[in-house]
Copies of this chain bind each other. A is one copy, B any other.
Amino acid sequence: MTANFADRLIWATRLKQTPLIVGLDPRSDRLPIKLRPEDPENLKSLAESFRQFSCEVIDVVAPLVPAVKPQAAFFEMLGPAGMTALAAVVNHARSRGLLVIMDAKRGDIGSTAAAYAKAFLGHDSPWGCDALTINPYLGPDTLDPFVESAKKQGAGLFVLAKTSNSGSSMIQDLIVDGETVYAKVATLIQTLSLQTKGEGDYGCVGAVVGATYPEQLAELRSKMPNAILLIPGLGAQGGTAADVAAGFDDHGLGAVINSSRAIIFAYENSMYAGFANNWQRAVEQATRDTIAQLAAETNARRLLG
């Protein structure tokens, strides 16, 4: 039997003393020069570059953070070669002791949802991930196959509640009977979290909540006391460490904070110009700086013991 994902994520967070996770979003035009393929139109070469870049990022951040979050779209963009690279990246992250949260935002009905769950959830699954992001638009019955699989596999789910983009208001902020759609989704997530609680307070069903709306973050934190929040949008998407403070409980737990581009492409940042010839050192420094910011401005400092 595998332990509950929520417990595993909390242990990893305590071990690394930070809630920071690193998003793996490779882009061909932002790779360090020496990792760019000669022919970026050749999908196999580009997939190999994405694999190498992601694995080298993993090597740098593995001692520092509890988890990585590969963005499936950037690998899927390269066709089957990209998907083969993605599998190698997941394996490499796990071999370095990292939890892997696959950001694929899947969702479908009945047996199709079950197929996605079987694809991604658990170390024995074909993609071998620890957790997966999923989309609730199709309704609660379409989440059930994911939840069943997650419970069996010791895996986790992060259900989209409130996303960080401006247009997220169109559906998510609609108000019905005095309550927003995202709040209704949060109520559903809280029920599932409570039903899947591990040894600690949290369940294996968490929520994705964008960092660009701090007041909504506070509302959603209190609405889902048993759900771990996955908060993307720190760094390149505009969120600051202070913006995510409301995501944590009193022990500095209950949230993981994702930063992708600001860390993995740190070598482009003038702040890290001193590492111009060593992009991995820039990644390391950006990771350490972000960890320090989170510890300075949020309850994540409690993890320092």
B-contacting 9-mer, from A73-81, A199-207, A290-298: A73-81
A174 engages B181 (CB within 8 Å): yes
A137 at the interface (CB under 8 A from B): yes
Distance, CA A74 to CA B108, complexed state (A): 11
Total interface residues on A, CB under 8 Å, equals 57
Say yes or no: A184-B167 contact (C-beta < 8 A), given A73-B116, A105-B107, A112-B71: no
Name 17 A/B residue pairs within 8 A (Cβ), A-sorted. A73-B115, A76-B116, A77-B116, A77-B118, A80-B80, A84-B84, A105-B106, A137-B160, A137-B171, A137-B172, A138-B163, A139-B168, A140-B167, A141-B166, A142-B165, A171-B181, A176-B176
**A142: contacting residue among B79, B108, B167, B185, CB under 8 A:** B167
A184 engages B171 (CB within 8 Å): yes
A80 engages B76 (CB within 8 Å): no
**With contacts A71-B115, A105-B135, A139-B168 known, what are 19 further pairs, Cβ within 8 A?**
A27-B111, A73-B116, A76-B115, A76-B119, A77-B116, A77-B119, A77-B126, A80-B80, A110-B165, A135-B135, A139-B169, A140-B167, A142-B165, A142-B167, A170-B184, A170-B188, A174-B176, A174-B184, A175-B176
